[in-house]
Chain A
Amino acid sequence: MCARSDQTSRLHARRTLPEVTVPGSAPVRHHTIVWLVWAVSAVAALQLASSPFTVLLVIGVSTLLVETCAEHRGLAKAFPILVGAAAAFSLLRVALTALTTHGGPDVLVRLPSFRLPVLLGGFSVGGTIERAVVMRSIAEGLVVVGVIATLAAFNAVVSHHELLRLLPRAFHELGLVISVALAFVPSTLAAVTAVREADRARTGSSAVHKRRVLRTVGPVLETGLERALLLAESMESRGFARRAPGRVERRAGALSITGLLLLSGAFAGLLARRPSLAAALAATGGCALTIAVIMVSRAARGGRLRTTPMSGRDRAMVAVTVAAPLLLAWLATAGAPLRWDVHASAFPPLSAAAAPVILLLAAPAVPMLLRREGRV
């Protein structure tokens, strides 16, 4: 092997192949830790400042980051889909809450009411729909949309493989499988587009609706399966999962199962109203799982590709994004109106101090925007 490597080394000086590169501006890339800290900070900010205006600001910041920093167009395309799904879920939640929860003086509308069977909870559905209930439910739903927008933006901007490298070695295979699965999101979206286009192209651009689902689902599934098989072959050919589990891994596996059983026991203890027993089981189970992870991580052979070092800019980004929830926490203790009490005011509050603090979360987009302006 060494002799072959030496031979390869001789090729260093002979790099004369012409390059063909698709033009396009590569985005400014932040360290994965920057994005992790950003996601945690944004979610924390949403918890601290749940007023609809601040939530909308966080959603806006997330959109800006996807627009400026997303490297994977496919994952960027998934952003509006995920936000839309969250909005639909929130609307459904608003409807269900309004129909089943009652309180407050301002009645918006009166609906017929009926009581569900005991088996389904036995509560009443319909009746009066109050403003406070609807408004509070909308505000809570908006926070859900904000959290999903934050996570969808994180998904679009972060390098999944670098994220994987930050995990303990014990989770390498699992993380890789998840990262490969995520990579199928953009390719599936592309396949859907291609199939729909092919469908229209077949008849010379005539709009065709008959049996459309069948004509779309079949080829998309086929394309996905073919791609999955090729990828599996590629992974297999490159030695994935080559090493059989050794003695340490087998012991760690047994320890993990024990840990999970103990945690299940803790849950059962909670149900049986034995909190001290539950706490003891949970602590022991947690320790067993932690030890198992450490054992597998230490037993992992071989090196890993260099982890990208954090630059000064990355550290600055971390500092700025962490500052956002810290400043919001300080504002909250100082009495700034960061939450909306639907009973106290008809309109959500907008804190003049909170808005610029939330905008700190947009810091990772600044280098890209400056680059577009040609300043860096």
Chain B
Amino acid sequence: MSAISYRGVTVAYPDQAHAAIAEIDLEVRRGEVLLVVGGSASGKSTLLRCANGLVPHTTGGRMAGDVVTFGRSVREARPRDLADVIGFVHQDPESQFVTDRVEADVAFVLENLGADQATLRRRVEEALDALGVAHLRDRPPAELSGGERQRCAIAGALAAAPEALVLDEPTSQLDPQGAEDVLAAVARLNADLGTTIVLAEHRLERAAGMADRVALLEGGRLTAEGDVRELLSGYAGAAPVTHLGRLLGWTPTPLTVREARAHAGDLTLPAPPPRTGTAGDDLVTAKGLSVRLGGREIFRDVDVRVGEGEIVALLGRNGAGKTTLLRALAELQRTERGVVTRAGRVAFVPQDPSSLLFATTVRAELRETLRLLGRDDPAAIARALDRLGLSAVAERHPRSLSGGERQRVAVAAVAVGEPEVLLLDEPTRGIDADSRDRLEAALRAHAAEGGGAMVATHDVELAARIADRVIVLGAGEVLAEGPARDVLAGSLFAPQVLRVLPPFLSVDEVAAARGRGQA
């Protein structure tokens, strides 16, 4: 018997010309891990939300077909009616806590289900233990790290002992360790309890290895479903090792570093050339920078610089101070000690693009920046739109766009003013491969024109692809700094390609070396 059965499901939201998902027929089997992949706005979230009736009950719109979850149709059953059989976890752990204590939040679903006192107490303990968060029971969720918060949110869904868990990009906001913890916990729930897992993910480096099947969505349609290896080997958003395997013709296509290593054997390629983005004159420098927030030292005596034509990646776990450092460089954060010298304008793109966007069209959003700078330059707007692949949506409302497109609009709205230095905070968080590629191309173009960029990110693969230099923040200080190849090579969380074929950082480097070798 299927756990969740989609039968000819089409969903169209109010005021949307196109259906978010169309004619979906999909069976989620009991006890399996189904990985849902697809680009931004491909309909992944809508598909997931149909599983427990959030679509259409909380979103409105029109729905054709039916979704049957553990024998109950979501047309009749509301999400609250299905809370005992299906748990739902959003990508943003912060927005799903109802109470101010972890333990009380985990108990929330049981109180709503009317569990008796003894059951409630036992289930709360079990859920906290299953996710390894019992020691956090009395903590306010706001105090926890991203990974801890997401595991607590999963515990909150698990407390009702649901038959299935639906997770919508649960690791998109987490550092590598946090993501590892969350996915390890989810894999254990599936292996030990037989909980059916439906998981949507953009970052497939870890998720691909734990999936039983994959469902691929494109433009709201289910274009393929089935074997993980078979489907991901041709998927643009697949993990770097899968792209590497495809490039080098490895069969079967590897999904994990371990599998790729078995193929790599003693493969030899010409050594990659050093990255050419050697910095020119310094555009922004910070010396002896120290910041305290709420009585806590965030970092102390930090020295950083960004030079002309250079892209610097800033790595570190959640709470390491990456955002604070970027804000200090952008003159947005009061510092306790230290000096920041700027040789030009330093613009900052925050983590949440929504905090920047307010105009009615994408073009107006860019025009606003130029207006504030006292300029009127339609050519610059067209150039920025083109560079970030936004020309086709220039007349759309920024908030009607997908997450990846919104992120690109935010970058375009800042970049159109042509600041000398761009500071980007987690620019690839929760965005698809296409948006990521366009952002990377825009950054490279900015550097090629003599600009500098610093990118704070959890995404080591991004750092491996674009960074000339890497800085690792931790324990309130700079733990490592140097050329990307040197710093990333020594990391436990090194990029996949580097772990398989050192000293190569990316698939592009391997492809170039291969080309040179054949020439």
A: which residues have CB within 8 A of B?
Answer: 1, 4-5, 7-12, 14-24, 26, 29, 71-74, 159-162, 176, 179-180, 183, 186, 191, 194-195, 197-206, 208, 210, 214-215, 218-219, 222-223, 226-227, 229-243, 301-306
Q: How far is the CA of A42 from the CA of B121 in the complex (A)?
A: 36
Hey, which chain A residues are within 8 Å of B120, CB to CB?
302-305
Total count of chain B residues near the partner, CB < 8 A? 105
Smallest CB–CB gap between B152 and chain A, Å? 12
Give chain B interface residues in 142-200, CB to chain A under 8 Å: 142-145, 147-148, 151, 156-157, 160-161, 175, 177-178, 181, 184-185, 188, 192-194
Query: Which listed residue, A202, A226, A237, A306, touches B54 by the CB 8 Å rule?
Result: A237
Smallest CB–CB gap between A211 and chain B, Å? 8
B211 sits at the interface (CB 8 A): no
B: which residues have CB within 8 A of A?
Answer: 49, 52, 54, 57-58, 78-81, 83-84, 87-88, 90, 92, 95-101, 103-104, 107-124, 126-127, 129-132, 134-135, 138-140, 142-145, 147-148, 151, 156-157, 160-161, 175, 177-178, 181, 184-185, 188, 192-194, 294, 296, 317-319, 327, 330-332, 345-350, 352, 354-358, 369, 371-373, 399, 413-414, 417, 419, 423
Nearest 3 pairs of A and B residues by beta carbon: A303-B117, A204-B345, A239-B83
Hey, which chain B residues are within 8 Å of A159, CB to CB?
100-101
16 more A-B residue pairs beyond the given contacts A8-B193, A179-B100, A210-B372, with a C-beta to C-beta distance below 8 A: A18-B177, A22-B318, A23-B296, A24-B294, A72-B140, A198-B348, A200-B331, A201-B349, A204-B417, A205-B346, A210-B371, A230-B96, A236-B54, A237-B88, A241-B80, A305-B111
Q: How far is the CA of A183 from the CA of B107 in the complex (A)?
A: 18
Smallest CB–CB gap between B193 and chain A, Å? 5
Q: How far is the CA of A208 from the CA of B149 in the complex (A)?
A: 36
Q: Are B319 and A238 in contact (CB under 8 A)?
A: no
Q: Are B80 and A11 in contact (CB under 8 A)?
A: no
The answer to whether A306 and B132 touch (CB under 8 A), given A203-B369, A239-B83, is no
Hey, which chain B residues are within 8 Å of A214, CB to CB?
358
Query: Which listed residue, A9, A18, A22, touches B126 by the CB 8 Å rule?
Result: A9
Hey, which chain A residues are within 8 Å of B96, CB to CB?
230-231, 234
Query: Which listed residue, B121, B331, B346, B399, touches A305 by the CB 8 Å rule?
Result: B121
Q: Are A206 and B372 in contact (CB under 8 A)?
A: yes
Smallest CB–CB gap between B161 and chain A, Å? 4
Q: Are A242 and B349 in contact (CB under 8 A)?
A: no
Q: Are A198 and B355 in contact (CB under 8 A)?
A: yes
Q: Are A19 and B355 in contact (CB under 8 A)?
A: no
Q: Are B188 and A14 in contact (CB under 8 A)?
A: yes
Q: From DSSP, what is the main secondary structure of chain A's interface residues?
A: helix
Q: Are B90 and A21 in contact (CB under 8 A)?
A: no
The answer to whether A219 and B354 touch (CB under 8 A), given A161-B101, A230-B90, A237-B79, is yes
User: Can you report 15 residue pairs joining A to B where beta carbons are below 8 Å apart?
Assistant: A10-B192, A11-B130, A11-B188, A14-B192, A20-B175, A20-B318, A22-B318, A197-B350, A203-B372, A203-B373, A227-B95, A230-B95, A233-B90, A302-B113, A305-B111
Q: Are A72 and B100 in contact (CB under 8 A)?
A: yes
Q: Are A236 and B296 in contact (CB under 8 A)?
A: no
Q: Are B161 and A5 in contact (CB under 8 A)?
A: yes
Q: How far is the CA of A23 from the CA of B317 in the complex (A)?
A: 12
Smallest CB-CB separation from A186: which chain B residue? B142
Query: Which listed residue, B52, B327, B372, touches A202 by the CB 8 Å rule?
Result: B372
Which among B97, B347, B358 has the greatest number of chain A C-beta atoms within 10 A? B358
Smallest CB-CB separation from A232: which chain B residue? B58
Q: How far is the CA of A162 from the CA of B330 in the complex (A)?
A: 41
Hey, which chain A residues are within 8 Å of B184, CB to CB?
17
Q: Are A234 and B95 in contact (CB under 8 A)?
A: yes
Hey, which chain B residues are within 8 Å of A197, CB to CB?
327, 332, 348, 350, 355
Query: Which listed residue, A21, A219, A229, A230, touches B357 by the CB 8 Å rule?
Result: A219
Q: Are B100 and A161 in contact (CB under 8 A)?
A: yes
Query: Which listed residue, B80, B188, B355, B417, touches A203 by the CB 8 Å rule?
Result: B417
The answer to whether A202 and B369 touch (CB under 8 A), given A197-B327, A237-B79, is yes
Hey, which chain B residues are within 8 Å of A8, CB to CB?
123, 126-127, 129-130, 161, 193
Smallest CB-CB separation from A183: which chain B residue? B100
Q: Are A238 and B345 in contact (CB under 8 A)?
A: no
Q: How far is the CA of A165 from the CA of B355 in the complex (A)?
A: 35
Hey, which chain B residues are within 8 Å of A203, CB to CB?
345, 347, 369, 372-373, 417
Q: Are B345 and A22 in contact (CB under 8 A)?
A: no
Smallest CB–CB gap between A240 and chain B, Å? 5
Hey, which chain A residues are within 8 Å of B373, CB to CB?
203, 206
Smallest CB–CB gap between B3 and chain A, Å? 14
Hey, which chain A residues are within 8 Å of B318, CB to CB?
20, 22
Smallest CB-CB separation from B122: which chain A residue? A5
Query: Which listed residue, A10, A24, A208, A229, touches B372 by the CB 8 Å rule?
Result: A208
Q: How far is the CA of A227 from the CA of B97 in the complex (A)?
A: 11
Query: Which listed residue, A19, A176, A231, A303, touches B118 by the CB 8 Å rule?
Result: A303
Q: Are A231 and B98 in contact (CB under 8 A)?
A: yes
Q: Are A219 and B132 in contact (CB under 8 A)?
A: no
Hey, which chain B residues are within 8 Å of A162, CB to CB?
101, 104
Q: Are B161 and A205 in contact (CB under 8 A)?
A: no
Hey, which chain A residues are within 8 Å of B101, CB to CB?
159, 161-162
Smallest CB–CB gap between B209 and chain A, Å? 17
Hey, which chain A residues are within 8 Å of B193, CB to CB?
4, 7-8, 11
Q: How far is the CA of A167 from the CA of B400 in the complex (A)?
A: 42
Which among A14, A235, A301 has the greatest number of chain B C-beta atoms within 10 A? A235
Q: Are A11 and B178 in contact (CB under 8 A)?
A: no
Q: How far is the CA of A183 from the CA of B95 in the complex (A)?
A: 11
Q: How far is the CA of A219 from the CA of B406 in the complex (A)?
A: 13
Query: Which listed residue, A1, A21, A223, A233, touches B145 by the CB 8 Å rule?
Result: A21
Smallest CB–CB gap between B130 and chain A, Å? 5
Query: Which listed residue, B81, B88, B115, B175, touches A303 by the CB 8 Å rule?
Result: B115
The answer to whether A202 and B79 touch (CB under 8 A), given A20-B318, A72-B100, is no
Smallest CB-CB separation from A235: which chain B residue? B98
Q: Are B372 and A304 in contact (CB under 8 A)?
A: no
Smallest CB-CB separation from A227: which chain B residue? B95
Q: How far is the CA of A200 from the CA of B423 in the complex (A)?
A: 13
Hey, which chain A residues are within 8 Å of B160, CB to CB?
238-239
Hey, which chain A residues are within 8 Å of B109, CB to CB?
238-239
Hey, which chain A residues are within 8 Å of B97, CB to CB?
234
Q: Are A219 and B358 in contact (CB under 8 A)?
A: yes
Q: How far is the CA of A72 from the CA of B57 in the complex (A)?
A: 33
Query: Which listed residue, B58, B100, B113, B347, touches A204 by the CB 8 Å rule?
Result: B347
The answer to whether A11 and B114 touch (CB under 8 A), given A203-B373, A233-B58, is no
Q: How far is the CA of A185 from the CA of B364 in the complex (A)?
A: 31
Smallest CB-CB separation from B329: which chain A residue? A205
Q: Are B143 and A201 in contact (CB under 8 A)?
A: no
Q: How far is the CA of A172 from the CA of B248 in the complex (A)?
A: 62
Smallest CB–CB gap between A223 and chain B, Å? 6
Hey, which chain B residues are within 8 Å of A223, CB to CB?
352, 354-355
Query: Which listed residue, A7, A186, A195, touches B355 by the CB 8 Å rule?
Result: A195
Q: How far is the CA of A180 from the CA of B99 in the complex (A)?
A: 7
Smallest CB–CB gap between B430 and chain A, Å? 14
Query: Which listed residue, B80, B92, B147, B194, touches A239 by the CB 8 Å rule?
Result: B80
Which among A12, A21, A74 has the greatest number of chain B C-beta atoms within 10 A? A21
